[in-house]
């Protein structure tokens, strides 16, 4: 079994985080920040009451009753954008225009054009732009990349990953509202598609089939991506049934199996060509594990860098372009496109 005693990253609290929005994902991130020494300088919400409740819950010194006040706060160095998908481009660009670095929740935007706007403005202002694809920074994913780089399973032939949940069906829920980017693709499918981009690169061809619900959102979507030279990735994402949520990377000399839930801190087994386990990775991670992406942001800022080699801004644009192709194949368009 691989040694997994590496300590979790901690922060000296030199970077001031601003939390933009106060929903469930913002609370998960704030909890992981607070538990590992990161400093939350301020929080912003659409109402003073919501911001104050969040500030009291996480001992945040400043609560702003608007997003505009948050991104203008001089105590904030980097803004974590945790609003629904359709607001990401506006919120991120407002933060960048105010001189703030940004960590933008996945899915990065509604489409590739919006993603390009954020990335180009970040480059123009010489500010850090990173997508909060937190899975990519977890220890077990670093191990998977190490196994592949070392050639332990030979040449990669295919990748498959599911993201299947049983989520709310109420028509008024944001997940079922096309106008705010609802549907399985952005919330769930972004994980396996970003995973395929990470290990196999940008696909040269995209095929997809979707099941469209009564409100017009994609309730389920299956994809086949052609990565060239005979390498294929597949995925299935649905918000109407919870499955095993495992992933496998198949190579010419073996395979990698990632246990449930593969996109969260998980155990990994390496098997040889005969299917015999030859190594296993296990590492307990506290909280949800979102502290790893925060540590990467702070590492980059300390080094004066504006792009993460693990989640480059251009790759976020590329992943959104792939999802644009998936939506074109299944017949989903967001209002205004």
Within a domain: 86? yes
Same domain flag for 106 and 143: no
Give the pairing type, strands 78-81 and 16-20.
parallel
- Supply the pLDDT for residue 178: 97
To the nearest whole percent, how much of the chain has pLDDT over 90?
96
CATH number reported for the structural domain that contains residue 265 in this entry: 3.30.360.10
Which residues lie across from 182 on neighbouring strands?
A: none
- Supply the pLDDT for residue 10: 87
Within a domain: 2? no
Same domain flag for 163 and 75: no
* Of residues 318, 327, 29, the one with CA closest to residue 183: 327
Same domain flag for 275 and 326: yes
Phi and psi, residue 314, nearest 5°: -65, -30
Within a domain: 335? no
| Residue 4: pLDDT over 80 | no
Within a domain: 48? yes
Residue 178's alpha-carbon distances to 32, 33, 85, 247, 319, in angstroms, are 31, 32, 11, 28, 20
Q: Which residue has the tokens 């990994």?
A: 268
Same domain flag for 223 and 239: yes
d(CA 37, CA 20): 19
When divided into structural domains, the chain yields a total of: 2
- Cβ neighbours, 10 Å, residue 245: 20
- Supply the pLDDT for residue 293: 98
Q: Which residue has the tokens 């989903």?
A: 332
Give the pLDDT confidence of 274-331 residue by residue, as tens digits: 999 999 999 999 999 999 999 999 999 999 999 999 999 999 999 999 999 999 999 9
d(CA 300, CA 47): 32
The DSSP code for 114 is H
Cis, peptide link before residue 107, omega less than 30° from 0: yes
d(CA 54, CA 45): 9
pTM above 0.95, yes or no: yes
Within a domain: 64? yes
Same domain flag for 179 and 323: yes
- Cβ neighbours, 10 Å, residue 327: 22
- Cβ neighbours, 10 Å, residue 259: 18
Give the pLDDT confidence of 263-273 residue by residue, as tens digits: 999 999 999 99
Task: Classify 292 as helix, strand or coil.
Answer: helix
- Supply the pLDDT for residue 2: 66
Same domain flag for 324 and 185: yes
Within a domain: 313? no
Total residue length of the chain: 337
For residue 248, what is the enclosing H or E element?
A: strand 247-251
Same domain flag for 109 and 145: no
CATH number reported for the structural domain that contains residue 71 in this entry: 3.40.50.720
Boundaries of domain holding 83: 16-133+290-306
Give the pLDDT confidence of 123-145 residue by residue, as tens digits: 999 999 999 999 999 999 999 99
Same domain flag for 154 and 275: yes
Same domain flag for 110 and 243: no
* Of residues 311, 290, 84, the one with CA closest to residue 186: 84
Same domain flag for 69 and 215: no
Angle of CA points 310, 118, 236, to nearest 5°: 55
Give the pLDDT confidence of 230-270 residue by residue, as tens digits: 999 999 999 999 999 999 999 999 999 999 999 999 999 99
- Cβ neighbours, 10 Å, residue 337: 11
- Tokens describing residue 90: 């506006």
Within a domain: 90? yes
Q: How many helices (H) and strands (E) does the chain have?
A: 10, 14
- Tokens describing residue 81: 């954008």
- Supply the pLDDT for residue 5: 61
Question: What is the band of 169 on the pLDDT scale with cuts at 50, 70, 90?
Answer: very high
Residue 192's alpha-carbon distances to 21, 199, 229, 323, 325, in angstroms, are 26, 11, 20, 11, 15
- Supply the pLDDT for residue 145: 98
Same domain flag for 164 and 251: yes
Give the pLDDT confidence of 100-131 residue by residue, as tens digits: 999 999 999 999 999 999 999 999 999 999 99
Alpha helices in the chain (DSSP H): 24-35, 48-58, 67-72, 88-97, 112-125, 139-149, 184, 190-200, 291-303, 313-330
Within a domain: 256? yes
Same domain flag for 326 and 192: yes
């Amino acid at each position: 079994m691989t040694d997994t005693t590496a300590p979790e990253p901690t922060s000296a609290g030199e970077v001031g985080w601003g939390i933009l929005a106060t929903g469930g994902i913002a609370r998960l991130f704030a909890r992981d920040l607070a538990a590992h020494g990161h400093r939350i300088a301020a929080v912003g919400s659409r109402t003073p009451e919501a911001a104050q409740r969040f500030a009291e819950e996480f001992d945040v010194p400043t609560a702003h009753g608007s997003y505009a006040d948050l991104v203008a706060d001089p105590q904030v160095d980097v803004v974590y954008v945790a609003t629904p998908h359709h607001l990401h481009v506006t919120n991120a660009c407002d933060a960048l225009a105010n001189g703030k670095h940004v960590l933008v929740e996945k899915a990065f935007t509604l489409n590739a054009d919006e993603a390009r706007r954020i990335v180009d403005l970040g480059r123009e202002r010489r500010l850090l732009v990173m997508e909060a694809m937190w899975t990519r920074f977890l220890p077990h994913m670093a191990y998977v990349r190490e196994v592949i780089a070392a050639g332990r399973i030979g040449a990669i032939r295919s990748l498959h990953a599911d993201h299947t949940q049983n989520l709310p069906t109420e028509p008024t829920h944001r997940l079922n509202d096309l106008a705010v980017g609802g549907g399985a693709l952005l919330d769930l499918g972004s994980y396996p598609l970003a995973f395929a981009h990470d290990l196999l690169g940008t696909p040269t061809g995209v095929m997809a089939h979707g099941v469209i619900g009564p409100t017009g959102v994609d309730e389920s979507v299956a994809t086949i991506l052609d990565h060239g030279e005979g390498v294929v990735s597949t995925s299935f994402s649905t918000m109407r049934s919870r499955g095993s949520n495992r992933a496998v990377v198949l190579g010419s000399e073996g395979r990698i199996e990632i246990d449930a839930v593969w996109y969260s801190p998980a155990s990994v087994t390496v098997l040889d060509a005969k299917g015999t386990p030859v190594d296993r990775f296990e590492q307990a991670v506290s909280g949800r594990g979102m502290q790893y992406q925060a540590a990467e942001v702070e590492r980059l800022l300390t080094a004066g860098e504006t792009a993460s080699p693990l989640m480059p801004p251009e790759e976020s644009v590329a992943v959104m372009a792939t999802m644009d192709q998936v939506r074109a194949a299944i017949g989903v368009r967001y209002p205004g496109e």
